[in-house]
Structure 1
């Protein structure tokens, strides 16, 4: 018997969200790890809110929603709230009921400064890695480091002279024409009026210079998980400075550790600094017209070859963060906000990897 095409819903309905999500769904394993990490941050969350006043939306739910935004490549918080309105899977993961209304998208803007002040992104990344079942996966001896450019939310037309002597643009309208041909533009004489922290930078010869930030990641070599992430202004020394900053806390142990990196890190002062910290520099040799700081005392070991092969896996993390999590061109302005989003995306990348690395009971 053919069923009728009824267009009206039932007046009353009971939907069990737990039953609607299949038992082997990857988000089940991720949610278990996320909830344990958020529980560990209870005191940090409490310190960010006043003990009196009207209750706000719990930061735990905001962070779960932001994770979904990264997992599913949702490009804006407005679209995220639209998805949360009708998607039962999203409601189950965030922790809101079927009859609860989705929040206004401005909730994220109002709470972002609070989460930024508490450095919640870095603490959340550490809380995920600190769980015993995750910590057992991590290598404490062998690491890799690299950097990647994050394009700023600012156009080249905003890159103007600091002394204000720019020629007025021709034409009219909102998007006026500008001709940069023949002009010498540098970070010393120019700055973006849209984002003062953005810097004009190009990754290599022949590449286009863009207003950018530089994101950095430290990866453990056993399973390729990011154990640290940060963001700096884009300049030629940022990668090496950030690498020393991230590896130094892990070098405070009796045993020597290794750090793999590409040719950009082959600088004598950087190599000497690593060795002074008892960190073996497994850095690729840069022999392009000069003498490499890496010699046979390092390259003759089998471990050096292994590090050079494994270190390239960090590009997988950067690829996911930029393409899937939407950090290739940031939607925020200012180093602090862009850095918070980059670090949180690094934590999201680890969470995507973990279900296949650790067995989490459902």
Structure 2
């Protein structure tokens, strides 16, 4: 006959929360690598010594990690899920009767103590240190790249860039934007006025980089070790190439200072292949650039390009296909000249007499009396990058660069960070730090499974 469930009328129950969390649950595997002992010591100076005890900051850290690891984007929903889910309660050390804090608590602490103490950066670096101790970081080859994340900004409420003015009652996001005007990843990255500026989040960049509808966005910049795709640093920036290059330098310097890691080689796409950036890597940091050279000297109109001329560094001159010389100066000056233009180039010119009788003139300089070639003052760094492009190590690095792109795909599709919830440079930085922390924790759980400790 058909059975019917009857509610048991027991007076006492024996229930252990730990017994109801599967051994292979993601949060159980992550919990082994999470060390939050230093959270309280880092935050202690930002709490008063008197008054009512606050909510445990470790609880809020654990709840945020649950949210970013499990793709729960809303803090209100996060509180509901932690209240209902036994595994989340176990991870947050709440037990069965622990009270879940209100979602507004996160906002107050995020804009206050968390940012004043930079605790999210501390949490991220603590996880990176654990990756180092677990042997997941080789430290020889790094990769850097950036990906656009839509900002919480509306085009209909924006104004043309030249019409934007600072309001006397500017909000938090506007004040944060004004504080970053000298930052290489924001205001100092470019002097160009954006086409549109969001009044609620002026640091967000109006961009059409995805070849579709333009939108306001930030760029999340990752510096990873190419062995196991561990994220060594993350930085928020404007969604333009110059800002991303500035962010890459900041991350490389910070990784060296914080962890003592300087890579032998750095792999990136052509956006990082400018002469200035290559010179910074080669001359100042001693890093081999496995980066395509960003070069616009190749001509497409059928005339000879600069690559058809041979440069002699010792003699400081070019030689054309007909064997004629191109030099900076055809006479001696009483006061020596540097020969460097405002654009940071040296101009090498052929003799008009040589070009007039040359059979290649229609293919070389059909519209000018003589051929001239501009050479960047950091062209030697470009030559280093071009020479590396023919090596087997460069080819291996190009394949490994895909790992950073896979991290961005995971960030948007699995962790659901396709659009920011927080505004301003600090809001973008907080979200990117928490997401990168979650990705590193998931990486630890995957590469160091529970069975390996048995």
| TM-score bracket for the superposition, by shorter chain length | 0.7 to 0.9
Report SS of the residue matched to 1:41: helix
Residue 346 of structure 1 corresponds to 436
For the Cα contact (< 8 Å) 1:147–1:217, is it kept in 2? yes
Per the alignment, do residues 202 and 190 of structure 1 end up closer, same or farther by CA in structure 2, a change over 3 Å counting? closer
For the Cα contact (< 8 Å) 1:187–1:199, is it kept in 2? no
Residue 44 of structure 2 corresponds to 46
Report SS of the residue matched to 1:51: coil
Residue 115 of structure 2 corresponds to 116
Deviation at 1:324, TM superposition (A): 2.6
Across the aligned residues of Structure 1 and Structure 2, the Cα RMSD in angstroms comes to: 2.7
Residue 139 of structure 1 corresponds to 138
Residue 95 of structure 1 corresponds to 93
Once the two structures are superposed, the pairs formed by residues 72-221 of structure 1 within 5 Å of their partners are 72-113=70-111, 114-131=113-130, 134-161=133-160, 187-188=193-194, 190-203=196-209, 206-221=211-226
Deviations 1:50-88 (A, max 9, x none): 222211111111111111112222231111111112111
Deviation at 1:303, TM superposition (A): 1.4
For the Cα contact (< 8 Å) 1:30–1:352, is it kept in 2? yes
Once the two structures are superposed, the pairs formed by residues 189-268 of structure 1 within 5 Å of their partners are 190-203=196-209, 206-250=211-255, 257-268=264-275
User: For residues 115 and 388 of structure 2, what CA distance do their matches in structure 1 show?
Assistant: 41
Unaligned 5+ segments in structure 1 are 166-185
User: For residues 229 and 446 of structure 2, what CA distance do their matches in structure 1 show?
Assistant: 13
Report SS of the residue matched to 1:215: strand
For the Cα contact (< 8 Å) 1:142–1:257, is it kept in 2? yes
Residue 182 of structure 1 corresponds to none
Report SS of the residue matched to 1:131: helix
For the Cα contact (< 8 Å) 1:259–1:280, is it kept in 2? yes
Report SS of the residue matched to 1:33: coil
Which one has more relative contact order, counting CA pairs under 8 Å at least 6 apart? Answer: 1
User: For residues 250 and 80 of structure 1, what CA distance do their matches in structure 2 show?
Assistant: 32
Per the alignment, do residues 164 and 238 of structure 1 end up closer, same or farther by CA in structure 2, a change over 3 Å counting? closer
For the Cα contact (< 8 Å) 1:266–1:284, is it kept in 2? yes
Deviations 1:279-302 (A, max 9, x none): 111113456764793644212322
Note if 1:318 corresponds to 2:324.
Answer: no
Residue 31 of structure 2 corresponds to 31
For the Cα contact (< 8 Å) 1:240–1:265, is it kept in 2? yes
Deviation at 1:104, TM superposition (A): 1.4
For the Cα contact (< 8 Å) 2:222–2:235, is it kept in 1? yes
Unaligned 5+ segments in structure 2 are 165-191, 299-306, 308-378
Report SS of the residue matched to 1:200: strand
Deviation at 1:275, TM superposition (A): 0.5
User: For residues 430 and 71 of structure 2, what CA distance do their matches in structure 1 show?
Assistant: 17
